[in-house]
Structure 1
Amino acid sequence: MPDLHWTIPVARWSSWPAVAAAAPDIGFIEPMVRRRLSTLSRIALKVAHDCVADRPNVRIVFASRHGELRRTTDILRNISAGEPVSPTAFSLSVLNAMTGVFGISRGDRTAASALSAGAETLGYALLEAHAQYATDTSTPVLLVYADEPADPGYGTIEEEVQGGAVAILLDEAPVGRLSCSRTAVDDGNASPEASPEGAGTLFATQSQAVHHCLDTRAAAQWRGEYAVWEWSWDEGVA
């Protein structure tokens, strides 16, 4: 794959930490639906709502490495034990469950998509959001990334996520621009120290790197097996 470089206009952004003292407030979701939601969907809906509460229509790109894997695992355990499977639990176990719940709560039938790409999920979600907005700037694009570690039953997961959520709204009149790049490495076993000088602080996960860049406006980097991903902030809106 060739090296990639792109920039997205950030109108707003919101995040929810992996470990929070209080549960996210999702009072905009009706109680009957709200009590059936997983922690993952709750934090995803929270950051999404924070970004677009006053926007009538937005396209959504939802991204998660594991998605509702914990719910799916519980379903599989019920099947293995010969127990009945809840239709509601099954319908909410799909990767795009959050986008459906969000669209219904807002009465918004604008297009939504969901993707998963391993440890590089957030990076490719940023690329997908950029592509959608660059193709049509008439409707905002909301990127929502939410994840949580896999069930311990799956054993050790390489480059495991730490959990949490972040949402970024791509729209006109941005407060700044997030520059993104993916640079292939010649040797998949190259060490992080081989990164170019001044390329930004190296983080263990993409979500940590992107959040750091948005929060501090300082460059951040994540290195995978085949590529180095980097993010930097530009206050200019031109």
Structure 2
Amino acid sequence: MPDLHWTIPVARWSFWPAVASAAPDVGFIEPMTRRRLSTLSRAALKVAHDCAADVPAVRVVFASRHGELGRTTEILHTIDAGGTVSPTSFSLSVLNTMTGVLGIVRGDRTAVSALSAGNETLGYALLEAHAQYATDASSPVLLVYADEPADPAYGEVEDEVEAGALAILLDASASAGRLTCARAERSEAAREPFASQSRAVQHCLDTRAASEWRGRHSTWQWFWHEGA
């Protein structure tokens, strides 16, 4: 694969760490739906709302390596035990559960994409969001990434993800700065790499300092630039 290099306009961003002492505030969702949501979907919806609550229509790119695997695992355990699976649990077990809930809550029928690309999921989601915005900059694009480690029942997962959620709103008309993303074939660069892509990107957005993540076959880097 050729080396890749692109820049996105960042209007807003929001991060929710799994180690937060309080639960994500999703009070904008009606109680009956709210009670049924997993911790993953709550975190994803919280950061999405932070970035796009006042945006009338927004294209969404949702990304997750495992998605609602936790709920799917519970369903499999229920079946294995001879129990009955709730239709609601089944309907909320798909990878992009939160995008459906978000669209209903917002009354927004704008296009939604969902992707999963192993331990490079966030990097390729940033590329997809860039491609959509570069193709049509007439409306913002909201990138939402949310993940959590797989259940131990699945065994060891190489370069496992860290739990948490991150949202970035791409909108040049309200840009606070620009995030440059780069992917190159695996290299041993001088910069100290982060354990996961999500931690590296969040560090770059938070501190404005360059960050790097190295996978088995590629190295990803992120750089912040002030202003539009």
Query: Is the TM-score greater than 0.5?
Result: yes
Q: What secondary structure sits across from 2:43 in the alignment?
A: helix
Matched, 1:206 2:207: no
Tell me which stretches of 4 or more aligned residues in structure 1 moved more than 2 Å.
none
Matches within 5 A, 1:9-28: 9-28=9-28
- Structure 2, unaligned runs of 5 or more: none
Pick aligned residue for 2:219 from 199, 221, 228: 228
TM-aligned CA deviation for residue 50 of structure 1 = 0.3
Distance in 2, matches of 1:155 and 1:201, equals 28
TM-aligned CA deviation for residue 63 of structure 1 = 0.4
Q: Which amino acid aligns with 1:180?
A: C
Matched, 1:111 2:111: yes
> TM-score, normalised on structure 1?
0.94
Equivalent residue number for residue 181 of structure 2: 180
Distance in 2, matches of 1:123 and 1:151, equals 23
> TM-score, normalised on structure 2?
0.98
Q: Which amino acid aligns with 2:118?
A: G
CA contact (8 A) 1:7 1:180 kept: yes
Q: What secondary structure sits across from 1:230 in the alignment?
A: strand
Distance in 2, matches of 1:137 and 1:213, equals 24
Distance in 2, matches of 1:236 and 1:6, equals 16
CA contact (8 A) 1:75 1:90 kept: yes
Distance in 2, matches of 1:179 and 1:90, equals 38
Distance in 2, matches of 1:99 and 1:162, equals 21
Equivalent residue number for residue 127 of structure 2: 127
Distance in 2, matches of 1:113 and 1:178, equals 21
Matches within 5 A, 1:1-150: 1-150=1-150
Q: What secondary structure sits across from 2:95 in the alignment?
A: coil
Distance in 2, matches of 1:122 and 1:18, equals 17
Q: What secondary structure sits across from 2:183 in the alignment?
A: strand
% identical aligned pairs = 74
Q: What secondary structure sits across from 1:35 in the alignment?
A: helix
TM-aligned CA deviation for residue 161 of structure 1 = 1.0
Equivalent residue number for residue 219 of structure 1: 210
Q: Which amino acid aligns with 1:176?
A: G
TM-aligned CA deviation for residue 173 of structure 1 = 2.6
Residues matched between the structures, number: 227
TM-aligned CA deviation for residue 202 of structure 1 = 1.1
C-alpha deviations, 1:189-233, integer Å up to 9, x for none? x6xxx21x4xx4410100000000000000000000111000000
- Structure 1, unaligned runs of 5 or more: none
Distance in 1, matches of 2:21 and 2:210, equals 29
Q: Which amino acid aligns with 1:221?
A: E
C-alpha deviations, 1:89-117, integer Å up to 9, x for none? 01100011100000000000000111100
CA contact (8 A) 1:201 1:219 kept: no
TM-aligned CA deviation for residue 157 of structure 1 = 1.0
Distance in 2, matches of 1:201 and 1:170, equals 28
Q: What secondary structure sits across from 1:203 in the alignment?
A: coil
Q: What secondary structure sits across from 1:8 in the alignment?
A: strand
Q: Which amino acid aligns with 1:208?
A: R
